Amino acid sequence: MLDRGGGFTQRERHGQNLEKARKQRICVRRAHCARERQGDAGRAAGSGVTVGGSKDRADLRRVREALPPSVADLLTRYERHLRLERGLSEHTVLAYVGDMTSLLGFLTGAGDDEPTRLGVALKDGFPALDSAGQEPPEVGNRRPGECGAQDGPEVLAGLDITALRAWLADQRARGAGRTTLARRSAAARTFTAWAKRVGVLESDPGARLVAPRAHRVLPTVLAPAEAAEVMRASASGAAEADPQGLRDHAILELLYATGVRVSELCGLDVADVDFAARVVRVLGKGGKERVVPFGIPAETALKVWLGAGRPALFSAVGKADPVALFLGIRGRRIDPRAVRRIVHDAVGSVPGAADMGPHGLRHTAATHLLEGGADLRSVQELLGHATLATTQLYTHVTVEWLKAIHDRAHPRAR
């Protein structure tokens, strides 16, 4: 119907906008389905993406395969120590083992094309000379993989503070940033401490290694109004009772309400949710368990997902994971990459909101808790941080927020 000016009435224009928004949500969900199918196909083909890229992974595999057998065995023992004795997360184990593969490859020359020196104490990155100014007689130029009787754990005789610094300098020359160097320094200290404890090293050179200070970049967060708009947008998609829309809304509400990591969210089972106490049991880094509360909006979204969305998806695929809280379109436990796409698309639908993934919602939840008056120690417990220093990063965000309020409100702020 046309109004007096020959145009559409306000009610009709509103209806057209709603229809347009509905079609856009359908297109987004179809894109989700296509990308999740691609992700499943990639995992089936063994082409999963990890930090560092396929080229870096291939390089590290090549270096590890070229290590002397006894050194490779030592690295395997160290990997088992990290995984079983220390209970570190899989990502941390892979990062630390990759760093030590790089270090041992640098020390032995494994994977290089040039001749290398094995089992030699280094000085300024070069083999130390004896009192006559000659190299030790048992040392000679060898191609990678050519090992003598003294090779193996004895190679670590060359692992001193100078060798560690030379390795970090080489990493820096290859383009590693300060944050990466800080992590690799921590990995080296962990390895040398373990090697000293098990008797492979006589002393711990890593104890003297000073790591470069990592750049602490302030996290990007949503404003409270932007976060509310993201939740409203996802709720409008869930209003159509589509199983995927219900799931996406429950994921966004739970991420923002609890501040859990994406890996923790994907690892949740149905039995981990306690609606009576309105808490969720989370298995965090290092196998540490904690209980995190959530609010009424997250409770409502979870109940709708469990009552309508999950059973519909379960029956549609025929065979699905019976215990996982959140399912992918093929019925398996949802993948972190799918969750990242859900968050990116939801935040991207809000004009002016900074692009972010699940960790951005974690930063946002922590910042809003502190701005709302929560104490730092409580936020540390909720987020599962091992040290308070990690949580203190969010205080810088709230200080900037307080400064902005002061500049706006105080008559003599300018």
Query: Which of 78, 96, 256, 394 is labelled catalytic?
Result: 394
The C-alpha atoms of residue 413 and residue 108 are separated, in whole angstroms, by 61
Q: Check 261, 337, 341, 368 and give the catalytic one.
A: 261
Burial class (CB in 10 A: 0-12, 13-18, 19+), 68: buried
- Residue tagged active-site, from 81, 142, 330, 359: 359
**Which residue of the set 22, 123, 278, 285 is catalytic?**
285
Residue 261 annotated to the active site: yes
SS3 string, 249-276, reads: HHHHHHHHHHCCCHHHHHCCEHHHEECC
> Catalytic site residue 91?
no
Query: Is 96 known to be catalytic?
Result: no
Supply the Cα-derived Rg of the chain in whole angstroms. 27
Report the alpha-carbon distance of residue 59 to residue 40 in Å, rounded: 25
Contact status, residue 401 vs residue 409, Cβ threshold 8 Å: no
Quick check: is 394 catalytic? yes
Query: Around Cβ 123, how many Cβ atoms within 10 Å?
Result: 14
- Reported in sequence order, the residue ranges of 125-231 that DSSP labels E, i.e. its strands, are 126-127
The token pair at 238 is 């869930």
Q: Which of 25, 189, 249, 362 is catalytic?
A: 362
Quick check: is 285 catalytic? Answer: yes
* Active-site choice (25, 249, 310, 385): 385
DSSP letters for 134-165: ---TT---B-TT---TT-SGGGGGG-SHHHHH
Q: Containing H/E element for 342?
A: helix 336-348
End-to-end CA, the chain: 55
The yes-or-no answer on residue 81 being catalytic is no
Strand-pair partners of 289: 283
Strand ranges (DSSP E) for 14-86?
Answer: none
Catalytic amino acids? 261, 285, 359, 362, 385, 394
